[in-house]
A and B are shown apart, each in its own frame.
Chain A
Amino acid sequence: MALIAARGLGRSFGTKRVLRDLDLDVAERELVLVTGPNGSGKSTLLALCAGLLAPTAGELDVAVDRGRIGYLAHEPLVYRELTALENLDLYGRLYRVPERRERIGMLFERFGLWEARRTPVASFSRGMQQRLALCRTLLHDPALLLLDEPYAGLDEAGGELLDAELAGLAGRRTLLLATHDPGRVGRLATGRLALA
């Protein structure tokens, strides 16, 4: 059963067409790599699958509820004036995460943010913000993960943490991953989509 099904999917921004006539099928528990040069529509495709954008042509069917989708964007989607803990607490409430405190603590420890949990995000480095964004994405244990350049900004240690996380998720959850560096996750991929 296809979790994501796209037929003739297209998306334009004004007169600029970013995606054109795309067909896509992603089954459960697949890990699909989306590759392509800058401007090829990788981010747009993920935003469409997340439901943030509507198609301007064709059809897109995502058989997952909003509450079970995890979306990692270019921006961390957190409030800079709030602490890491306050941010995830808010998302935890909105996503109705059971045992919220424990889950947040566990993610912070896993991604090395426990010490910084009470500092405002504004003082975070780029790498720490990316780790926080990953925590936010994984907080509610989503069935479908849409990750836009998840390795961007991560240092070596962060990268290794993410490798481990992805290895653990592959085969258990469905992932759509946009990346410039397909080599890193290549062995986990069950499918590839190259956008022109």
Chain B
Amino acid sequence: MTYLADVGALARKDLLLELRSRDTLPAMILFVVSTLVVFNFSLPAETGDLAAYGLLWVAIVFTAILGLTRAFAAEREQRVLDGLVLAPCDRSAIWLGKGISVVAFLALAEVVALPAFGLFFEPVTWELVAAVALADIGLAAVGTLLAAMAAASRARELLLPLLFLPLVIPVVVGGVGASIADDPGRYLGFLGLYDLIFAILSWASFEYVVTE
């Protein structure tokens, strides 16, 4: 199927770009670890152990914002996005290819962040890992679309967090719930539902964000 081939070519291009420039991923990793260290100083002694899980999810969301701010940087600087949009491939393939690379970067950052979290604060459970995996999909789906919007605006880096944060509150709820609740399955299911709804919506509407 040419659609998947397009997506593959685009995702490969994004990963290759990051491999060459090596600016986004190291920054994300350093950011998330620094944030975890800051948490140590920001959590008062008496707060329960569970508070750390909440802060972890805040760290993940802001690390995602950091990565997403750079997501369309190359396309925006040289207006390459015009070249991609003109191609006969489906525009949603651009979203999917870029989204895959965002998930990859988030996952790589979390490969460092989760063990660090386990070391500094609380144990990392399987439910937490599953929640993080599901959350990555939702964050990337919505974030990639919003990043394209922000890239077309004058405000750019300022705009993305404003658009992003209200939309991902449900992800935070799902993630924290899966981390600490007695029945994490409910929250994992909710994350899956969020992913499904917003991935479909983002996939279908990306075309309208990058064309006129």
| In-complex A–B contact (CB below 8 Å) | yes
Binding site for B on A (CB under 8 A): 50-54, 65-67, 69, 71, 73, 75-82, 86, 90-91, 93-96, 120, 136
- Give the docked Cα–Cα distance between A143 and B77 (Å): 29
* Residue B46 is within 8 A (CB to CB) of chain A in the complex: no
A66 engages B86 (CB within 8 Å): yes
The interface residues of chain B, by DSSP majority, are classed as helix
Most B CB within 10 A of own CB, among A69, A79, A82: A79
Identify the closest chain A residue to B8 (Cβ): A93
Identify the closest chain A residue to B88 (Cβ): A67
B89 engages A94 (CB within 8 Å): yes
- Interfacial chain A residues near B86, Cβ < 8 Å: 50-52, 66, 69, 71
Contact of B78 among A53, A80, A96 (CB under 8 A): A80
A65 engages B17 (CB within 8 Å): no
What are 13 A-B residue pairs whose CB atoms fall within 8 Å in the complex?
A: A52-B86, A73-B82, A75-B78, A76-B78, A77-B78, A77-B80, A78-B78, A79-B13, A81-B17, A82-B16, A90-B10, A93-B6, A94-B88
Count A/B pairs, Cβ under 8 Å.
70
A93 touching B5 in the complex, CB below 8 Å, given contacts A71-B86, A79-B13 = yes
* Residue B42 is within 8 A (CB to CB) of chain A in the complex: no
A94 engages B212 (CB within 8 Å): no
Binding site for A on B (CB under 8 A): 2, 5-6, 9-10, 13, 16-17, 20-21, 74, 77-80, 82-89, 211-212
- Interfacial chain B residues near A54, Cβ < 8 Å: 212
Please give the distance in Å from B79's CB to the nearest CB on chain A: 5
- The 8 lowest CB-CB distance pairs between A and B, nearest first, are A67-B88, A77-B83, A54-B212, A94-B87, A81-B20, A93-B9, A75-B79, A66-B88
Please give the distance in Å from A53's CB to the nearest CB on chain B: 6
Identify the closest chain B residue to A120 (Cβ): B20
- Interfacial chain A residues near B212, Cβ < 8 Å: 52-54
- Give the docked Cα–Cα distance between A109 and B157 (Å): 41
A65 touching B87 in the complex, CB below 8 Å, given contacts A53-B212, A73-B79 = no
Contact of B83 among A80, A82, A86, A136 (CB under 8 A): A136
- Give the docked Cα–Cα distance between A75 and B79 (Å): 7
Contact of B74 among A53, A81, A94, A136 (CB under 8 A): A81
The interface residues of chain A, by DSSP majority, are classed as loop
- Interfacial chain A residues near B77, Cβ < 8 Å: 80
- Interfacial chain B residues near A77, Cβ < 8 Å: 78-80, 82-83
A67 engages B83 (CB within 8 Å): no
- Interfacial chain B residues near A136, Cβ < 8 Å: 83
B17 engages A66 (CB within 8 Å): no
B84 engages A94 (CB within 8 Å): yes
A78 touching B87 in the complex, CB below 8 Å, given contacts A94-B6, A120-B20 = no
Identify the closest chain A residue to B22 (Cβ): A81
Please give the distance in Å from A81's CB to the nearest CB on chain B: 4
Identify the closest chain A residue to B212 (Cβ): A54
- Interfacial chain A residues near B20, Cβ < 8 Å: 81-82, 120
B80 engages A79 (CB within 8 Å): yes
- Interfacial chain A residues near B6, Cβ < 8 Å: 93-94
Please give the distance in Å from A155's CB to the nearest CB on chain B: 22
A95 engages B79 (CB within 8 Å): no
- Give the docked Cα–Cα distance between A52 and B89 (Å): 15
Known contacts A53-B212, A73-B79; 13 further A-B pairs (Cβ under 8 A): A50-B86, A77-B80, A77-B83, A79-B78, A79-B80, A81-B17, A82-B13, A86-B16, A90-B13, A91-B83, A91-B87, A94-B84, A95-B87
